[in-house]
């Protein structure tokens, strides 16, 4: 049983490492979203996919090992708690990033609507009054 617990602990340690890497990537992703650097997001997404696949593979192995294990030692229990904590943290960071990406997309859409003079665009005159649907910004614009 000690060997079984040691093998489970080894797999869980690999999962912890992968989750820590994903957490760091999520921080980088938020920085890229905030800086509106779309080129870096593609690379980050590919790295996240690779790490998630590793986590899934390790998770399947852990489930098989746990199914054949009668008792868990303290190290395994501690690692399981650590994995769950990291997983929860990554989920929260991912939700924050999704919200930030959505807000960035809305900002770009609003800017585009203003520039093309969409009827729902709102701009302000010198006095701070709303000018709605005015196409003065793009009048005589040649691109």
Q: What is the CATH number of the domain that holds 22?
A: 1.20.58
The answer as to whether 129 is a domain residue is: no
The answer as to whether 37 is a domain residue is: yes
Count of domains for the chain: 1
Q: Kindly report, residue by residue over 18-64, the tens digit of the pLDDT.
A: 999 999 999 999 999 988 888 889 999 999 999 999 999 999 999 99
Structural domain boundaries enclosing 70: 2-101
Q: State phi, psi for 137 to the nearest 5 degrees.
A: -65, -40
The answer as to whether 114 is a domain residue is: no
The answer as to whether 24 is a domain residue is: yes
Q: Give CA torsion, residues 77, 78, 80, 82, to 10 deg.
A: 170
Distance of alpha carbon 55 from alpha carbon 18, whole angstroms: 7
Task: Tell me the residue length of the chain.
Answer: 143
Asked whether the CA dihedral 62, 65, 67, 70 is positive or negative, the reply is: negative
Q: Kindly report, residue by residue over 102-121, the tens digit of the pLDDT.
A: 988 888 888 887 777 666 65
């Amino acid at each position: 049983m000690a060997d079984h617990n040691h093998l489970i602990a080894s797999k869980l340690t690999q999962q912890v490492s992968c989750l820590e890497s994903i957490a760091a990537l999520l921080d980088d992703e938020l920085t890229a979203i905030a800086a509106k650097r779309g080129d870096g997001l593609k690379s980050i997404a590919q790295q996240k996919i690779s790490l998630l696949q590793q986590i899934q593979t390790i998770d399947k192995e852990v489930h098989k090992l746990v199914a054949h294990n009668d008792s868990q030692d303290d190290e395994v229990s501690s690692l399981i708690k650590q994995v769950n904590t990291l997983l929860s943290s990554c989920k929260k960071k991912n939700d924050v990033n999704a919200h930030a990406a959505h807000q960035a997309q809305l900002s770009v859409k609003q800017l585009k609507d203003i520039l093309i003079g969409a009827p729902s665009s709102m701009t302000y005159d010198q006095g701070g009054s709303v000018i709605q649907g005015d196409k003065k910004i793009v009048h005589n614009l040649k691109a």
